[in-house]
Amino acid sequence: MTDQEIFKFFPEPVFKYKFKDFKDLNKELSEYIYKLRDEDRNGLERSNKGGWHSKNFELAIEDSIQKKFAIIAQPYILNVFQNYGWKTENKNIRIKEMWAIINEEGNFNVLHTHPNCYLSAAYYVKAPENCGRFQVESPNIARRHSYPEIHIRNELNTEGAGVDINEGDLLIFPAYLPHKVRQNKSNEDRIVISFNVDVRE
């Protein structure tokens, strides 16, 4: 049929960026994260199944690698705000909290969201081949029960999608968007830094 229009309203975006000159940065971040794990071997259990989850980073420490990373990430956060058309002038757009996850072979993260913030993000410090895709699912629960039998999967009927990732990639997405990370099937660690973004008036 040639006389049709399809209006694709209410998109659920995942923004993907590549850090420039990320290798030296990732080396420093890896050393910092492994040091945190050495100091707290138990870590936390959140969405991670297996692996190690840090406590929140101390972001107020000047000249620290975590502070340096937060500063580098800020322009990307602002770019997402601009893409959404959100107001940035005279707004304190901040990283509310930040943490790291080390997933060894066989570890993964279950489906979850991040409440009480606007955006969430995942930065890949170490991402060997076959370390697990980043997956999102539709937040529209009503859609899951509104289809007849599906013949061909497409963007109009899909309930989930995945993003391939590499070291130096930064993903930023709406905090309400359900997401998970597939099982690490490599024999190396996958290291991710995650953070949440809000606006303080």
Question: CA-CA-CA-CA torsion for 54, 56, 59, 61, nearest 10 degrees?
Answer: -70
Residue 175 covered by a domain: yes
Residue 173 covered by a domain: yes
Residues spanned by the domain of 132: 15-141+157-200
Residue 44 and residue 54 in contact, taking contact as beta carbons nearer than 8 Å? yes
For the cut 90, the answer to whether the pLDDT of residue 70 exceeds it is: yes
Tens of pLDDT along 154-177? 988 888 999 999 999 999 999 999
Q: What CATH number is associated with residue 56?
A: 2.60.120.620
Q: Burial level of 38, CB count in 10 A (0-12/13-18/19+)?
A: exposed
Residue 156: the pLDDT is 87
Tens of pLDDT along 96-140? 999 999 999 999 999 999 999 999 999 999 999 999 999 999 998
Number of structural domains in the chain: 1
Two tokens at 85? 């058309």
For the cut 70, the answer to whether the pLDDT of residue 144 exceeds it is: no
Residue 7 covered by a domain: no
